[in-house]
Amino acid sequence: MKKMMIALCLMPWVTGLAGCQEDQETVSATIHQQHVNAVEAFTEAARELESAVETLCQANTDDHLAASRSAWQVLMQDWMVLQGREKGSEAALALTWQIQFWPDKKDITGRKMEQLLAQNTHWNAALLADQSVAVQGAGAMEWLLYAHPERLQQPQGCELATAIGQRLTQSGEALMDAWKANPWQAMTPQLALGEYVGALTNQLDFAMKKLTLPMGKPGHPRPYQAESWRSQTSMRNLKANVQAMQSLYLAEGKGLDALLRAQGEAELADRIAGQFDSLLVSWPQSASMGALLKTRGGYRELIHIFNGMEYIRFALHDEVSPALGIVVGFNATDGD
């Protein structure tokens, strides 16, 4: 009976049924809670990074630098859960660029950081908020921790690093405020379902862009276009994207996977779930995309990942959407 009710809820002409509202609220609440949990984890990671950088500036040691880098990597892993979805809270979406300025094809982050360090200014979070978003987020902190750690031995560099840490914490707290309310709660079941699928397809398209931009054309890779190339953690980040998409797809047994099975589309659900598993099981050992781009074997591994993602993308667009009666519109990366 439960499966039949879910199936009926997917039909646009019966969205007024009381039971449909109950099912829609269950899925909506689960997806919303996933976002709330992700935002809370990111905000806590931002606080930990801010604290680690302050400790590093008080005593610049190799151990404190390593701890700050580790805290930064945790922050990035937590951000990967939310990155690229472009659905939900409008207030949250407005914070995206100040949390992470990417792609950065012209190294605006590096140039802006050099300009700030050349100024005779005592940087703090309030002053930094009036500067380019390229210097307010994770990429700016990566520039200091990995590319120019020597700047952290100077008062100016430490003031700037501390300000960036504070700014990231502020961004995290703003994210928490933005996600307090469920943006899908008042929508019809069909519209909410479309937003759910849209979030998944947007994140998938963004992740594929993170692959294709540095891969370039065969024989002409662009490793410096990779995300987090300075820390050599681009593949680790991308894997976190895939894990986040898998969690969003499954949604604790209440998501797309369950909806497809309720519609009699178990074979399709199995194929998508299996593709996520296959991608993660065969994931390259290297944390750096730059290292993979240097060899033919590594490049082939990246092509394999791209093909796996593309398979899921086509399945969502060409099979899932028709099966559930969803119209998928343009996404955040279209026309880029």
| Residue pLDDT, tens place only, 116-174 | 999 999 999 999 999 999 999 999 999 999 999 999 999 999 999 999 999 999 999 99
Round the average pLDDT of the chain to a whole number and report it.
91
What is residue 320's three-state secondary structure?
helix
Cβ contact 205:309 at 8 Å: no
At residue 26, the pLDDT reads 76
Return the closest-CA partner of residue 141 out of 44, 52, 209, 237: 52
* Rounded Cα distance, 82 and 80, in Å: 5
Q: DSSP character for 119?
A: S
> Residue 331 pLDDT > 60, yes or no?
no
Give the residue among 145, 102, 64, 151 at the shortest CA–CA distance from 336: 102
298 has pLDDT over 70:
yes
Alpha-carbon distances of 320 from 136, 184, 255, 259, rounded to whole Å: 38, 20, 12, 10
Paired tokens of 166: 């504070």
SS3 217: strand
59 pLDDT more than 90 = yes
Single-letter amino acid code for the residue at 222: R
Tens digits of residue pLDDT in 261-276: 999 999 999 999 999 9
Q: How far apart are CA 261 and CA 258, in angstroms?
A: 5
Percent of the chain with pLDDT over 90: 85
